[in-house]
Amino acid sequence: MADYYLGIDVGSVSIKLALLEGDTLTAKAYLKNQGLIPTIQQGLKQMPKVQISGVGVTGSGSEFISSLVGGDYVDSEIISHMIATLKVYPDTRTIIDVGGEDSKLMLVKDGVLSDFQMNKTCGAGSGAMVETIASRLGYKIEDVGRIALESKGRLALPSKCGIFMQSEVVSQLNKGRSVSDILMGVCRAMVANYLILAKGKKLFEPVVFQGAVAKNQAVARAFEEALKCPVIIPRYPEFAGAVGIALLTEEQMNGRKTNFRGDAILAPEYHIQVKRCPDPCSNECELTLLLYQGKELAVFGSKCGKWENQIVGG
């Protein structure tokens, strides 16, 4: 009997689940994040009923989700992305990951991560930029790639600030610029913003581009123009994090028994509560409590770590 491993990637915009049977992706779910617990429950319902040998969680709030589902392994999303990519493209030197609000750049040397960079205070180099402008123009994000690729003229839009970009887009529209030129310009500006992460770094080929934004062909074209080299897009670019953490879990299990709580998670009695740490202390931490039928299951968010039952990053 084959072993099944489940990977959960908690992103800022969406939650991704991937079920691996050996090395093959047998089931996947992509859900918009509408409250952590209901979204996870919905995602698990979409998974086939099989005996799961291990669950890995990555992304923001991963320890929290891990204690909810009974995760076996938690690691950072950057490591997960790298593992998934190297599995399919072992020669990769540069990994570009553009998500809903995060963007990450990973450099690989000798098959190991050698450097990485994440956006810190600005989201103008992520999918949110393109999505905001597209919805301002009344287009769905799914259609942006197709429309932008019809562009004939080259339009230079100011990069850096998404708000200034929006006003520039409106003024270009007033001038009678075609929507496809504008959208292509927005994609190019987003790529220029993203490449701020690569400042002072040498990017080598082959370059893999993943994250949900990689489904947008226009952004991929803009990357190819900017980097002057072809960009590889995996088959399921948005699932790289989830697949990676599932692979990592498989590697880390070593015959351990899974903590996965199965259908028990689907009960509707789970709640999240936020409260101040009751102890007198200058940190004044905000604690996140996971409750089941009014009983505390896990606590997160204290700076000193006295309430946590797991250690970040292991």
Partner 1 sequence: MIIGLPRMGIYSNLLRRFIEGLGVEAIMPAKITREMIGLGAANSSDMICFPFKYTLGQEIWVLEHGATDLVMWNSCGLCRLKHYYQIQELILKDLGHQFKMNVITRKNILSTIKRWGHISHFETYRRMKKLYSEIKEVEAKAYRFLPERQLKIGIVGEVGTMLEPDINFNIVKKLQRMGANVDMSITITDYLNESTEKGSKKDIKEAKSLLSQELGGHGFQSIVNTIFYAKHGYDGVIHILPLSCLPESTVEPIVDHVADKYGITLYRFAFDESAFEVGFDTRLGTFCSMLKRRKLAKNG
Taking the complex as a whole, the smallest distance from the CB of residue 202 to partner 1 amounts, in Å, to 10
Q: Write 164-170 long-range contacts (CB < 8 A, 24+).
A: 165/124, 165/129, 165/133, 165/189, 166/132, 166/133, 166/136, 169/133, 169/136, 169/137, 170/136
- Which residue ranges make up the site for partner 1 (CB under 8 A)? 60, 75-79, 110-116, 118, 120-121, 200, 282-283, 303, 305, 311-314
Question: Distance between CA atoms of 118 and 123, rounded to whole angstroms?
Answer: 10
Taking the complex as a whole, the smallest distance from the CB of residue 25 to partner 1 amounts, in Å, to 23
Taking the complex as a whole, the smallest distance from the CB of residue 120 to partner 1 amounts, in Å, to 6
Taking the complex as a whole, the smallest distance from the CB of residue 44 to partner 1 amounts, in Å, to 25
Taking the complex as a whole, the smallest distance from the CB of residue 55 to partner 1 amounts, in Å, to 19
Taking the complex as a whole, the smallest distance from the CB of residue 79 to partner 1 amounts, in Å, to 5
Instruction: Determine contact, residues 53/67, Cβ cutoff 8 Å.
Output: no
* CA 193 to chain CA centroid, nearest Å: 18
Cis ω on the peptide bond leading into residue 206 (within 30° of 0)?
Answer: yes
Taking the complex as a whole, the smallest distance from the CB of residue 111 to partner 1 amounts, in Å, to 7
Nearer to partner 1, 140 or 306 (CB): 306
C-alpha triplet 93, 101, 139: angle, nearest 5°: 110
Strand stretches in 204-253, DSSP E: 207-210, 231-232
Q: Tell me the three state secondary structure of residue 292.
A: strand
Q: Give the single-character DSSP code of 88.
A: H
Nearer to partner 1, 278 or 313 (CB): 313
Nearer to partner 1, 101 or 224 (CB): 101
Element (H, E) at 56: strand 52-59
Question: Distance between CA atoms of 95 and 101, rounded to whole angstroms?
Answer: 17
Nearer to partner 1, 25 or 122 (CB): 122
Exposed, middle or buried by CB within 10 Å (0-12, 13-18, 19+), for 122? middle
Nearer to partner 1, 142 or 251 (CB): 251
Nearer to partner 1, 47 or 118 (CB): 118
| Token code pair at residue 86 | 């190297």
Nearer to partner 1, 123 or 145 (CB): 123
Cβ neighbours around 181 below 10 Å, total = 18
Taking the complex as a whole, the smallest distance from the CB of residue 153 to partner 1 amounts, in Å, to 37
Nearer to partner 1, 122 or 291 (CB): 122
Cβ neighbours around 293 below 10 Å, total = 9
Taking the complex as a whole, the smallest distance from the CB of residue 194 to partner 1 amounts, in Å, to 16
Cβ neighbours around 256 below 10 Å, total = 11
Nearer to partner 1, 47 or 113 (CB): 113
